Every structure is written in structure tokens, then in C-alpha cells.
Amino acid sequence: MNIDTLRERLAHIESTLAAACAKSGRSRSDVRLVAVTKTTSVEVASLLPSLGVNDLGESRPQELWKKAEAIPSACWHFIGHLQRNKVERTIPLCSLIHSVDTERLAQAISALGRTVPVLLEVNCSREEAKGGFPPETLPEVAERIAALPGLDWQGLMTMAAHSENPEDCRGTFAELRALRDDLRRRTGKPLPHLSMGMSNDYAVAVEEGATLIRLGSILFANLE
Ligand SMILES: *Cc1c(COP(=O)(O)O)cnc(C)c1O
């Protein structure tokens, strides 16, 4: 049964999280698990709220529209590249946009005339294939974005370069936290959130201060 497998996988994740929190003097309640449902079905995704996971994430607008319609009670997170022509339909379905990656997207969201919680995506690993603001440009861009009406800017998001050894990601996560601390001083905004850590590296991300971890394959691989 998928639900038993999911329950076991969640228990394993919880014990890893407990250890990472203990090691870094953090509280489990400071870290939210976002289940990234992009590789699984609506049927499997809809089992999660009953297992205590109500934060679900998608990286493609069309998938988000479909799953958010099927599971409207979940708290939906958008974590991928959002084209400006999909802003109007996507934003009202989401409780947090993790992946604002250009100033033009920030402006398009602002123009909706509602208050939208967002994170800015940072390309800490400096891989060309990845989206996000280069860390160097962020202080200047962030000041302009922070001034846009309708954006409730709550922090930063990044993806570490893939590596077999999660320790290799520690520098990236520490850099994101340092960047957030710097932007906090510059802007006076609380910027509570750091969205970082995926299936391979979430324990290290939590040790480095993640408040939102985005887990896909560790939950959904080889189900069905
Ligand atoms: C797919 C995806 C994840 C989940 O990745 P896993 O390695 O499967 O846990 C997290 N964040 C983003 C932005 C993704 O696109």
C-alpha cells in the first residue's frame, strides 16, 4: 500500500530531521516540510494531508493548477520557473512562491494588486542552467523588489549543485543564510525564511538554517 510506504518514509525523514535539529540547536517546529509532488499522481499526493503533511509543492504551473484543484485544502507552494503569462492563474492558488527569479516577474506579481508572499531565488551554485539571481546582484535588486507594493518578501530560496556527498552542499546553504542576514541588515525586513534542502541534502540544509525543505524523490520514488 502506498500509504504505508509513505508513512514509513515520513517516519525516516522525521528521525533525520530530529537529529539535524538536535545537532544544530534548532527546534523541529522551525522547519516545514514541503512535499514536492511533481513526480507523483494526484491520488498519491492526496494521501499526504492525512499523514500530517499539508504543505505541497509543484514546479510547473499546469501541474499545480491540476493538483491544487483536486486537493484545495492543502497549502500549495510554487517552486519552479513561473512565466509571466501564468502569474494571474497561478498566484491565487499558492500560499508561497519560492522562486521569484527576475525583477520582471516580481513586477508582474506586484501588478496583480494583492498581497503575495514570495521568496527570491538565488543561484548560489552559479550553474548556468539554473535560474535565480546571482548572489552579487541581489543587494541592489532586492532593494527595488522590496519597495514593490503587493509583494510580501519573506526570504530566499536556493538549489545546491547536485552531489553524491551532501557535505559538498554545506557551503551553498551557509552562503544563502549569510546573504539573508546581510539583506536583513540592509532592508530592515525580518526575512524569516530560507527554502533550501532537497531529498539528498536536507539534513545539512537544516543544520545550516533551512526553514522550508522541499522533498520529492525521498517520498515518492518507486511508488505505484
Ligand atoms: C523537484 C524539486 C525538488 C525536489 O527534489 P528531490 O531531489 O526529488 O527531493 C525541490 N526543489 C525544486 C525547485 C524542485 O524542482
pLDDT tens column, 15-36? 999 999 999 999 999 999 999 9
Residue 128's pLDDT band, with cuts at 50, 70 and 90, is confident
CA angle 48, 61, 71 (to 5 degrees): 30
198 lines ligand 1 (CB under 6 A): yes
The reported pTM is 0.97
The stretches of 30-189 forming alpha helices (DSSP H) are: 42-45, 61-70, 87-90, 103-110, 138-146, 170-187
Beta bridge partners of 107: none
User: Could you give the CA distance from residue 218 to residue 5 in angstroms, rounded to a whole number?
Assistant: 11
196 lines ligand 1 (CB under 6 A): no
214 lines ligand 1 (CB under 6 A): yes
Q: How far is the CA of 144 from the centre of ligand 1 (A)?
A: 29
Asked if 139 contacts 118 with a C-beta cutoff of 8 angstroms, the reply is no
Q: How far is the CA of 146 from the centre of ligand 1 (A)?
A: 27
Nearest to 154 by CA among 195, 107, 193: 193
pLDDT tens column, 143-175? 999 999 999 999 999 999 989 999 999 999 999
Q: How far is the CA of 188 from the centre of ligand 1 (A)?
A: 30
